[in-house]
Structure 1
Amino acid sequence: MCFAATPAAVADSGPDASEFDLSSSSECEFGGKNIPSTPWSLQRILMEQLHDKATGDDVTVAVIDTGVDDDNKQLAGQMASKGKDFVGGKDGTEDIEGHGTRVAGIIAAKEVPGTGFMGLAPKAKILPIRYTGAQDKQGKPKQGNSDTMVAAIKYAVDQGADIINISSDTEERKDPPRLRAAIKNAVDSGALVIAASGNDGWDATSKKTYPASYDGVVAVAASDRNDERASFSQAGDFVDIAAPGVGMVSTVPEGGQCTADGTSFAAPYVAGVAALMMDRYPDWNAQQIIARMQETAERPTAEPNRYVGWGVVDPLAALSDSTEPGETPKPEAPQQAGASQVTPMKVTMGETPAERDRRISIYVLGAGLLLVFVAGGSGIAVRDWRRKKAGGFGSD
């Protein structure tokens, strides 16, 4: 059976209306197979070195989304509790759309045989909160709105969540006062609030999205395999950092995995790194965590820009410097950023130094032979010209 987390397009007109866009795209089979290979978003990390430093132990990440199905083997046992459902279901572990289950997997899916995918912080706990994506008794979609989002945020704060991940943005870029107030309360409580920047960036025009644009929220853009802004990722001065958001492998309800694109899946990548940092640096506050993450990001320029903020997150670099940071990132030259103190593996697709030396030797030898042939040919031409001038060809 195929499901897709489709963007909500109904105005906030009642309990069944939605004003949020689940910032992703893709369809996948629930209860399907695992993908055996390691996704590119994890190939860029040395996972063993990363988990030698931290695993996310004793950190709780609230996933405010369509719910999180813990029937997937990689998510079984990863829930802090059953969470809560604000759209009429029994609890937060129901997910009929699959969006929230994918988000949670990127954060905390545990390692299992037969797949190269796992969450960035496999010892972190997920607090599943469903604010949208349900069905009524007649099987009709029942979507959330600002009221259910606000209730979900308050619940996450009351439950003591260390990190709150929101992979949604409001339709038509609405800025509901009640949502702004709920976010402020969450930030003031000390929680690290992370939100997707949105997927309407095809024209690269700067536009604000909510809740990502609110003060204190970490707004996450999506990057591609080249560490550049994904073409759909919303640009704007509010963007704080970027993370992989293209071809993102993650868990789905009932078991299995699939791939999807979207800033929805870049945000939990940052949430996973933040969980690792909270494990490693338990005395740092939320602002210090994100400041260090921004300082160590792979940045194209010394200053942040409206496409990727301070740059693409570098998990290992963020966990490799124990000096206590300030609460705001410091500009540095691009070559100084992202210094993860890791020796890269040798690239075997290109030529080795020995192959390069052999190639150059062949070039030198070939050039020498060419000069010999040119010189020899020139000598014959001069001799023939002299003979012709003397009256003809004869024997030597």
Structure 2
Amino acid sequence: MATTARPVSQRKSQFLIAARQPGPALQAMNIQPLAYAAIEQALRNSPDIDIVDSVGPRQVLDTMSTSSNAAPGVLVARMTEQKAGILHQQAQGRLVVERDQHLVLHDSRQFQPALVTPVVPTSGPMFNVAISVLAPDGSPVPNADVYVFGAMLPATASTDANGQATLSLFGETAGSISALYIKPRCDYWSYYQRSPDLSPDDMNVVTLRPIANWPALPNFPGQACYGWGQKAMRLDQLPQNYRGQGVRVAIIDSGAATTHLDLKSIHAGFDIINKKTNPQGWTEDSLGHGSHCAGIIAGSDAAFGIRGFAPDAEIHACKLFPGGQISQLIDALEYCIDQQIDVVNLSLGGADVSEALEQQIVRARRAGVACIVAAGNSGGPVQYPASSPNVLAVSAIGKLNEFPADSYHTETLTPFVDVNGFFAAKFSCYGPQIGVCAPGVAIVSSVPSNNFAVWDGTSMAAPHVTGLAALVLAHHPDFQGPYKARSAERVERLFQIIKLSARPINVGDPTRTGLGLPDTLAAVGLQPMAGQAAGMLPMALSFGLAPGFW
């Protein structure tokens, strides 16, 4: 019990403070951007503002800037919303003052149930159900997440060492249960059953399908295989010596488990979250998300698992999750500029556009760093930073018959299906900013410590294109000649080649698939472009695609 009284007030939040870069509005008013040193000194002199970090360019003057007074970095400070508003007003448009947003990863592992009633029963009937999750040989599957959905609030539990979980739902009966979903941690397909016949009196048994028994993955994982996504993009037809040599790829994500045989060739990285205490912590991936993306891009073991697009590329794992914020993403992009990274995979996003981040993305592009970004999984408009005109946004597609009929992947289906069985994924964001689409449903890849999992998400689609981009930079003649030097023009040419290589996915809505599915052989210059290039630009414009789409 509290013994003292204190008035409730607004707590401090974290904000980004940066000089707004010169633009037409400031130039018209003959207003010069503020100097970084002056901004920092003014903030430090304010007793109710706490500076906690400085991110972005390290040098005193930003050589990419058009003004010697332009701010070389971004200050991260804690203050109240009220103070931030006052600061913004006093700067008269010369400062960017914005909340340091938390970022999210764009995979759809988190099950999104139908809307449930807001009523929370506290008494009345309770439905108790016991679930046993087994492998085909009868052995238990521990640590699988079990979800039971009814008319009210869902229940969830994880299986114990015996593969069993018991769940209790208030106000439900056997007849009101609407769905059962089981999400294994690794090595098995998920299970999903609408209107399941569950008994409260017996042990309800579910037998999961091992990934290793899937017909499309012969001898998996003991023999390196191509996933359906790699085959759809014709990676399996590429000469074996095309492996992305000499290209640097950064995966800004949750780290990479170098304990995995497919990821053992990754030797570089940076833990942005713990940069002051453990900058080498990037090899620890508690979420598995970064490892999954890394396997798609660069899975490298010749006799094990899934073959990545560019196994000989130099991979840098930048750890931003769990807990990543815009400020730390700015810092990660600065690492990419410093390390002369060629391609960055961003399977992440935020709720709102960030001007401070956009300035860093532009700076990275000028330095020759190409950002390939997942569109988002909300099923709505493209999320930021995929919506930026300075990146390549990737949406997700699936393909019929590439997953078991009783897996949760069936819930990603939409009516948008083309003649080849490709469909626009239900969760994928869409809009005029989409450059291309890529496989993002039922994607098998590496997870810690040396296992495999099947996930959905635009998070899984973007690495397919990132891996392809590494191959293009390493092997397309343009990047050994006129576009060899690092520049914004080099990035634009890379994006253009990927788009021109794409084969249309005709689902009736180009805002869901952009120019289509990139083709590996065409993109690296071994075969002519798909043939539609000349006709696609007018068609894209007729659908109102955004400026900068091409």
Give the TM-score normalised by the residue count of structure 1: 0.69
* C-alpha spacing 1:56/1:22, structure 2 compared with 1 (3 Å): same
Instruction: Identify if the C-alpha distance between structure 1 residues 28 and 85 changes in structure 2 by more than 3 Å, giving closer, same or farther.
Output: farther
Which digits, 9 at most, give the CA deviation of each residue in 1:191-247, with x for residues without a partner?
A: 11100000111xxx5x24111111220000001113332111101111110000000
Q: Deviations over 1:58-113 (max 9, x none)?
A: 1111101111111111110233x133333454422221111111111100011343
Q: Do the aligned partners of residues 132 and 215 (structure 1) sit closer, same or farther apart at CA in structure 2, a change above 3 Å counting? A: same
Report how far residue 253 of structure 1 moved.
1.6
* Distance change in 2, residues 1:90/1:190 (3 Å): closer
Equivalent runs, 1:60-99 vs 2, <5 Å: 60-79=248-267, 81-87=268-274, 89-91=278-280, 92-99=282-289
Consecutive unaligned residues of structure 2, counting only runs of 5 or more, are 1-11, 15-51, 53-77, 79-99, 110-182, 189-209, 213-219, 400-420, 484-489, 539-550
Instruction: Summarize the Cα distance change of 1:50–1:13 in structure 2 as closer, same or farther, 3 Å threshold.
Output: farther
Aligned match of 1:151: 331
Alignment of 1:1-396 (within 5 A): 13-14=13-14, 19-26=102-109, 29=185, 35=212, 36=220, 38-52=226-240, 54-79=242-267, 81-87=268-274, 89-91=278-280, 92-115=282-305, 117-133=306-322, 143-170=323-350, 173-201=351-379, 205=380, 207-225=381-399, 226-281=421-476, 282-283=479-480, 284=483, 285-300=490-505, 305-321=510-526, 330-332=534-536
**C-alpha displacement of 1:332:** 3.9
Amino acid at match of 2:232: R
How far the C-alpha of 1:248 sits from its partner, in A, is 0.6
Tell me the CA shift for residue 300 of structure 1: 4.1
Q: Give the C-alpha shift of residue 13 in structure 1.
A: 4.0
Q: What CA deviation, in whole Å up to 9, does each residue of 1:249-295 have, x standing for no partner?
A: 11112111111000001001000001011111233322222212111
Q: Which amino acid aligns with 2:494?
A: I
Conserved in 2, the CA contact under 8 Å of 1:295 and 1:331? no
Partner SS for 2:389: coil
Q: Percent identity?
A: 29
CA pair 153-252 structure 1, distance change in 2 beyond 3 A: same
Counterpart in the other structure of 2:418:
none
Query: Where is the strand percentage greater, Structure 1 or Structure 2?
Result: 2
CA contact (8 A) 1:30 1:254 kept: no
Residue in 2 aligned with 1:4?
none
* In structure 1, distance between residues paired with 2:386 and 2:433: 8
Deviations 1:117-158 (A, max 9, x none): 21111111211111221xxxxxxxxx1211111111111111
After superposition, the C-alpha distances for 1:308-333 in whole angstroms (9 at most, x for unaligned) are 11111221221235889xxxx64349
Secondary structure at the residue paired with 1:74?
helix
- Radius of gyration: which is bigger? 1
Pick closer, same or farther for the CA change 1:187–1:28 going to 2, 3 Å. Answer: farther
Q: Which has the higher helix share?
A: 1
Tell me, yes or no, if the aligned pair for 2:502 and 2:516 is still in contact at 8 Å: yes
Structure 1 Cα separation of the partners of residues 301 and 234 of structure 2: 15
Distance 2:243 2:230 in 1: 15
- Partner of 2:318, secondary structure, is strand
Whether the 8 Å contact between 2:296 and 2:445 is mirrored in structure 1 is yes
The verdict on how the C-alpha distance between 1:28 and 1:277 changes in structure 2, with shifts beyond 3 A counting, is farther
**Whole-angstrom distance in 2 between the partners of 1:259 and 1:223:** 15
Q: CA deviation at 1:47?
A: 4.1
Q: CA deviation at 1:187?
A: 1.1
Residue pair 1:78, 1:109 contacting (<8 A) in 2 also: no
- Alpha-carbon spacing, 1:114–1:100, altered in 2? closer, same or farther (3 Å): closer
For 2:468 and 2:385, the matched residues in 1 are separated by 20
Say if 1:212 and 1:218, in contact at 8 Å, map to a contact too: yes
2:353 corresponds to which letter in structure 1? D
Q: Contact 2:330/2:357 (CA < 8 Å) preserved in 1?
A: yes
Contact residue 245 and residue 266 of structure 1 kept, 8 A? yes
Under a length normalisation based on structure 2, what TM-score does the superposition of the two structures give? 0.51
Distance in structure 1 (CA, Å) of the matches to 2:440 and 2:527 = 28
Q: CA deviation at 1:175?
A: 1.1
Q: Which amino acid aligns with 1:19?
A: H
- State the alpha-carbon separation in 2 of the partners of residues 228 and 313 from structure 1: 15
Structure 1 segments unaligned to the other structure (5+ residues): 1-11, 134-142, 335-396
Cα 1:84–1:254, aligned 2, differ >3 Å: closer, same or farther? same
Q: CA 1:259 to 1:48, structure 2 compared with 1: closer, same or farther past 3 Å?
A: closer
Distance in 1 (alpha carbons) for counterparts of 2:324 and 2:234: 39
Aligned-residue Cα RMSD (Å) equals: 2.9
**Does the 8 A contact of 2:187 with 2:211 survive in 1?**
no
How has the CA–CA distance of structure 1 residues 82 and 190 changed in structure 2, closer, same or farther, with 3 Å as cutoff?
Answer: closer
Q: Which structure carries more relative contact order (alpha carbon 8 Å, separation 6+)?
A: 1
- Give the 3-state SS of the residue equivalent to 1:61 in structure 2: strand
Whole-angstrom CA distance in 2 between matches of 1:164 and 1:47: 20
Q: Aligned partner of 1:98: which letter?
A: G
